[in-house]
Structure 1
Amino acid sequence: MTEAEMIENRRYRPKPGEELRVFAYGSLMWRPDFPFIDLQPAVLYGYHRAFCITSTHYRGSVEHPGLVLGLDRGGQCQGRVYRVAPEDAETAADYLHRREMITGVYIPRLLKVRLPDGVDVTALSFIADRQHPQYAGKLSPEDVVARIRDAVGIAGRNIDYLRNTVQHLDQMGIGDCSLHRILRLLEAQS
Structure 2
Amino acid sequence: MSLSRSDLEAGNEQTRLLEASHSGIKLTTLSEDELQRSLDETLQQQPPNSDIWIFAYGSLIWNPLITYVERRAGIIYGWHRRFCTWMILARGTPENPGLLLGLDRGGSCRGVVYRVAAADVPSELLLIWRREMLGGVYVARWVKVFDGTQEFQAIAFVANRQHPRYAHQIPLTTTVNSIATASGKLGSCADYLMRTVEGLMAEGIKDRQLLLLRKQVLAKQQALLVSGDRFTLVPIYGQQP
TM-score, normalized by the shorter chain, greater than 0.5: yes
Aligned twin of 1:54:
86
In 2, Cα distance between the equivalents of 1:97 and 1:58?
17
Answering whether residue 130 of structure 2 is matched by residue 94 of structure 1, we say: no
Give, as a single letter, the amino acid of the residue that structure 1 aligns with 2:215.
R
Aligned twin of 1:65:
97
In 2, Cα distance between the equivalents of 1:6 and 1:71?
24
Deviates more, 1:2-11 or 1:129-138: 2-11
TM-score, length of structure 1 as denominator length: 0.91
Aligned twin of 2:236:
none
Structure ID, larger Rg = 2
Aligned partner (choices 130, 138, 141) of residue 161 of structure 2: 130
**Greater fraction helix:** 2
TM-score, length of structure 2 as denominator length: 0.73
Aligned twin of 1:44:
76
CA contact (8 A) 1:41 1:116 kept: no
Point out 4+ residue stretches in structure 1 off by more than 4 angstroms.
none
Describe the SS at the equivalent of 1:12. helix
Answering whether residue 148 of structure 2 is matched by residue 148 of structure 1, we say: no
Answering whether residue 35 of structure 2 is matched by residue 25 of structure 1, we say: no
How many pairs were matched up?
Answer: 188
Question: What per-residue deviation string (whole Å, max 9, x for no partner) do you get for residues 88-109 of structure 1?
Answer: 0011110011111231110011
Aligned partner (choices 160, 163, 183) of residue 214 of structure 2: 183
Aligned twin of 2:204:
173
Give, as a single letter, the amino acid of the residue that structure 2 aligns with 1:173.
G
Describe the SS at the equivalent of 1:59. coil
Question: What per-residue deviation string (whole Å, max 9, x for no partner) do you get for residues 59-102 of structure 1?
Answer: 11122110010000000000111111111001111001111123
Aligned twin of 2:195:
164
Question: What per-residue deviation string (whole Å, max 9, x for no partner) do you get for residues 162-187 of structure 1?
Answer: 11111222222111111111111121
Identity of aligned residues (%): 39
| CA RMSD after TM alignment | 1.9
- Specify which structure has the bigger relative contact order, considering alpha-carbon pairs within 8 angstroms and separated by 6 or more residues: 1
Q: CA deviation at 1:4?
A: 3.8
Deviates more, 1:167-176 or 1:36-45: 167-176
In 1, Cα distance between the equivalents of 2:122 and 2:68?
12
In 2, Cα distance between the equivalents of 1:131 and 1:17?
33
